[in-house]
């Protein structure tokens, strides 16, 4: 059974940093792209970042480019999101999700973590 | 403002058919990128409902169906049930943004 377990969220002051983790099990983690998607309170879904199975080709939404870094440790079946220079508008539930599809441009996200809440406030 | 446009809400009585739209542009849906649909029940993570425009994952009832034409896509639910009350999101890839995009979501209310 595929499972994704998000962790690392919490309350953080503006300008500070936080690292999220997503522990994966039940599939060959290194063979699949992974993404982070966030959802601000009462709002819709927003793709944040993605990385291929090899760790190659990280991509970022413009809203986080230069501040967030995605990485993965395939030996630990774990995905990370390092978030620096956090802003109030980064407040959201952050979900990791597994990418699925024949081509990157047609990926859908077939399994999701339960989400971890990040609150940026002084 | 989401790149993909969805109506904020739709409603229907139990047993009725409801549809919801997802409108994009020439850089996403119109560029030939597939559309996927997710259902998000209150307080839970999204779940894929339709992928690659028309395909249902195993376990998703055949009451749910998807279609795509031009720069738009639609999700249809036949014989809507109370348990279908949720938020629905469409998703595709945008070549201009070089990333994945979601619609703003449609809240389905079962009357």
DSSP SS3 for B30: helix
For residue B52, give the 3-state DSSP assignment. Answer: coil
Predicted local confidence at residue A90, as pLDDT:
98
| CA distance to partner chain B, nearest, from residue A16 (Å) | 26
Residues B27-43 have a mean pLDDT of 96
Contacts of B12 (CB under 8 A, 6+ apart): B18, B77, B80, B108, B109, B110, B111
Name chain A contacts of B95, Cβ cutoff 8 Å: 105
- For residue B75, the distance in angstroms to the closest alpha carbon of chain A comes to 16
Given a cut of 50, the residues of chain A with pLDDT beneath it are: none
Tokens of A38: 């966030």
Question: What's the per-residue H, E or C state across chain A?
Answer: CCEEEEECCEEECCCCCEEEEEEEECCCHHHCCEEEEEECCCCCEEEEEEECCCCCCCEECCCCCCCEEEEEECCCCEEEEEECCCCHHHCEEEEEEEEECCCHHHCEEEEECCCEEEEECC
Question: CA-CA-CA-CA torsion for B49, A41, A113, B108, nearest 10 degrees?
Answer: -20
Residue B110: alpha-carbon gap to chain centroid:
16
- Burial (CB count within 10 angstroms: exposed 0-12, middle 13-18, buried 19+), residue A39: buried
Task: Give the gap in angstroms from C-alpha B45 to the nearest C-alpha of chain A.
Answer: 6
pLDDT in tens, B65-109: 999 999 999 999 999 999 999 999 999 999 999 999 999 999 999
Confirm if A120 and A14 have CB atoms less than 8 A apart. yes
Interface of B with A (CB under 8 A): 2, 33-34, 36, 38, 40, 45-48, 51-52, 57, 89, 91, 93, 95, 97-105
Hey, are the CB atoms on B103 and A44 less than 8 Å from each other? yes
**Residues of A with CB below 8 A from B5's CB?**
none
| Tens digit of each residue's pLDDT (9 = 90 or more) over A74-84 | 999 999 999 99
Cβ B99–A106 below 8 Å, yes or no?
A: no
Question: Contact, A46 vs A38, CB < 8 A?
Answer: yes
DSSP 8-state class, residue B56: P
State the pLDDT at residue B56: 98
Contact B100 A115 (CB under 8 A): no
> Can you give the pLDDT at residue A102?
79
Work out the average pLDDT over B34-57: 97
| Angle made by CA atoms A12, A13, A15, in degrees to the nearest 5 | 115
């Amino acid at each position: 059974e595929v499972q994704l377990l998000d962790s690392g969220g919490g309350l953080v002051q503006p300008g500070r940093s936080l690292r999220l983790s997503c522990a994966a099990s039940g599939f060959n983690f290194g063979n699949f792209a992974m993404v982070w998607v966030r959802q601000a309170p009462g709002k819709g879904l927003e793709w944040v970042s993605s990385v291929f199975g090899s760790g190659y080709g990280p991509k970022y939404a413009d809203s986080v480019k230069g501040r967030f870094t995605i990485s993965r440790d395939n030996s630990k079946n774990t995905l990370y999101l390092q978030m620096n220079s956090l802003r109030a508008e980064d407040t959201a539930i952050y979900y990791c999700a597994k990418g699925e599809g024949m081509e990157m441009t047609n990926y859908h996200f077939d399994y999701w973590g339960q989400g971890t809440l990040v609150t940026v406030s002084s | 403002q989401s790149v993909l446009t969805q109506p904020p809400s739709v409603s229907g009585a139990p047993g009725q058919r409801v549809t919801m739209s997802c409108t994009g542009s020439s850089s996403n849906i119109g560029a030939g990128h597939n559309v996927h649909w997710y259902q998000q029940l209150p307080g839970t993570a999204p779940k894929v409902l339709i992928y690659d425009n028309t395909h249902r994952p195993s376990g998703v009832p055949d009451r749910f169906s998807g279609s795509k034409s031009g720069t738009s896509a639609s999700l249809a639910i036949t014989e809507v049930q109370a348990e279908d009350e949720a938020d629905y999101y469409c998703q595709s890839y945008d070549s201009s943004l070089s990333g994945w995009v979601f619609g703003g979501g449609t809240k389905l209310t079962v009357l």
